[in-house]
Amino acid sequence: MAINPTFHAAARPEWDVPALLEGLKRGDRQTLARAITLVESRRAEDQTFAQELLNQLQPKTASETFRLGITGNPGAGKSTLIEVLGQQWIASGHRVAVLAIDPSSPQNHGSLLGDKTRMEGLSRAPEAFIRPSPSAGALGGLHAHMPEVISLCEAAGYDRIIVETVGVGQNETAVADVVDFTLLLALPGAGDEVQGLKRGVMEAADAVFVNKADGERLTMARDAQRQLRQALQLFHREDGWEVPIALGSALEPKSLVDLFELLDRGMRWFVSTGMSEKRREAQQGVHFEQRLQDGLLLWAQRKHPTAWEDVQKEVKEGRKSPAAAALEFLRNLAAENR
């Protein structure tokens, strides 16, 4: 194949931040999708535009928007439930954004495709916006951009944000760092299924829903409810909120009345006691620190690529302990920047 020596890839057009802001204000979905692409971009030249955009967004208060995290083991029925809940919220006049965290692992790709069919009604609704977000990355930890993506959705007029994430592995409790309220989905059956939930996941839950309480599983669902109640008693909550445990079936919308009620009640309680606002403030602090850590790491790595590689090698080969190697690297950096 001949290579055209006069060919130059077209320079990427610069981002038009005022146009993005204006589009967001209009609630334009395409603009929202583009704005999310911008803040998720790893290109260094996009960073300035992303920050310029984010800095001009008016932050929403906890009484204006509600951020709900839905977590639970793979296959617990999170997407199926969101399909019903989202439509219920739309019917009461809300605009709903669903952000599904893509665990970025090959065995999970099936579920993302599945989400399209599992949230079919919602994905066709003009009042809904559904977006999978990448979670992993060399730097930046879990869903590193989730707080920004949430702000963008809110700026575009979505007042109910649902973040779906599997409650396993590293994603475990991270969702609680970006939402006002965390709903944990559990499955019928005392014993194994209940035990399978990690302590951290249970502790982060503001409410639990035993899903798939249908057909022959109803008795098992009640067992699970009882056992979860006992397990939750072991955790002390300083805020005084008693974690409710509902049961029902995402496939039978009528059985979800209790769940919808408890979500409403939870939302009102968290807003009226100032808990939601307090959480948002604390989360801002956490995000700042995370961003700073990411930035410092990247900076150190770029400044001394060779030393970085050498030290990595030494650690991997067991010639230095990770702690000692990190300390030495930091000392060298500090000495140089004194």
Q: Which of residues 220-279 bind ligand GTP (CB under 6 A)?
A: 249-251
Residue 213 CB, shortest distance to ligand GTP, in Å, is 7
Smallest separation (angstroms) from ligand GTP to the CB of 115? 6
HSE-CB of 284 using CA atoms within 13 angstroms: 9
75 is a contact residue toward ligand GTP (CB under 6 A): yes
For residue 208, with 0-12 CB atoms within 10 Å meaning exposed, 13-18 middle and 19 or more buried, which class applies?
A: buried
Q: Which does 80 bind (CB under 5 to 8 A by kind): ligand GTP, Mg ion, none?
A: ligand GTP
Among 71, 79, 211, 227, binds Mg ion (CB under 5 A): 79
- By CB under 6 A, is residue 77 in contact with ligand GTP? yes
How long is the chain? 338
What per-residue string of b and e applies to 10-28 under the rule 16 or more CB within 10 Å gives b? Answer: eeeeebebeebbebbeebb
- Find the binder of ligand GTP among 24, 76, 153, 267 (CB under 6 A): 76
CB of 249 to ligand GTP, least distance (A): 4
Q: Residue 67 is inside which H or E element, if any?
A: strand 66-72
Among 71, 211, 227, 276, binds ligand GTP (CB under 6 A): 211
Q: Which of 31, 65, 71, 111 binds ligand GTP (CB under 6 A)?
A: 111
Q: Which of 181, 191, 185 is nearest to 168 (CA)?
A: 185
72 touches ligand GTP by CB under 6 A: yes
Count of residues touching Mg ion (by CB under 5 A): 2
Q: Which stretch binds Mg ion (CB under 5 A): 58-66, 70-78, 129-137, 234-242?
A: 70-78
Closest to ligand GTP by CB, 59 vs 74, is: 74
Q: In this complex, which beta carbon is closest to ligand GTP, that of residue 164 or of residue 180?
A: 164
Q: What is the DSSP string of 289-325?
A: HHHHHHHHHHHHHHH-HHHHHHHHHHHHTTSS-HHHH
List the Cα angle 271/276/280 in 5-degree steps.
145
39 touches which of ligand GTP, Mg ion, none (CB within 5 to 8 A by kind)? none
Binding mask 112-151 for ligand GTP (x = CB under 6 A): --x---x---------------------------------
Q: Which stretch binds ligand GTP (CB under 6 A): 9-17, 75-83, 218-226, 310-318?
A: 75-83
Residue 177: its H or E element: none
Task: From the list Mg ion, ligand GTP, none, pick the one residue 77 interacts with, judged by a Cβ distance below 5 to 8 Å according to partner type.
Answer: ligand GTP
Beta-carbon contacts of residue 222 (< 8 Å; ≥ 6 apart): 213, 247
| Residues 6 or more apart whose Cβ sits within 8 Å of residue 63 | 271, 276
Angle at which helix 322-336 crosses helix 305-316, to 10 degrees, equals: 160
Say if residue 137 is exposed, middle or buried (CB neighbours under 10 Å; 0-12, 13-18, 19+). Answer: middle
**Residue number with CB closer to ligand GTP (109 or 278):** 109
Helix (H) or strand (E) holding 126: none
Q: How far is the CB of 96 from ligand GTP (least distance, A)?
A: 16
Closest listed residue to residue 118, CA positions, set 84, 92, 91, 88: 84
Considering only the stretches 77-85, 223-231, 271-279, 312-320, report the one whose residues sit in contact with Mg ion under the rule CB under 5 A: 77-85
Report, in Å, the least distance between residue 5 CB and ligand GTP: 49
Q: Which residues bind ligand GTP (CB under 6 A)?
A: 72, 74-80, 111, 114, 118, 166, 211-212, 214, 249-251
Q: Which residues bind Mg ion (CB under 5 A)?
A: 78-79
